[in-house]
Amino acid sequence: MGIHTSLKTKSGALNQHRNVLTRDERIARLSASERFAADKNSPLGLPKVLSIKVAAGKKPKKEPAAAGADAKDAKKDAKKK
């Protein structure tokens, strides 16, 4: 008997961006920013922690007209030789 298609996950599904952090993750982020001290604060009722997804920048595209002109010049030079 197989698994239902709605229950299948993709291979990279566990690496997706999540909006909700676990308590351990929230404590780690608060400790890094010195907003939580284990001896002073309670792990219950933690403040909200912003979770920002970092998007990769796009590569700048080369201009097609300039690339085409360079290729034509290279062909002309090759024919002359």
pLDDT greater at residue 57 or residue 80: 57
The residues near 30 (Cβ < 8 Å, ≥ 6 apart) are: 36, 46, 47, 49
CA 58 to chain centre: 12
Q: pTM (2 decimals)? A: 0.49
Q: What confidence score (pLDDT) does residue 44 get?
A: 86
Domain extents in the chain: 16-54
Q: What confidence score (pLDDT) does residue 68 get?
A: 56
Q: What confidence score (pLDDT) does residue 78 get?
A: 63
pLDDT digits (tens, 9 = 90+) for 16-70: 777 888 889 999 999 999 899 888 888 888 888 888 877 777 778 877 665 555 6
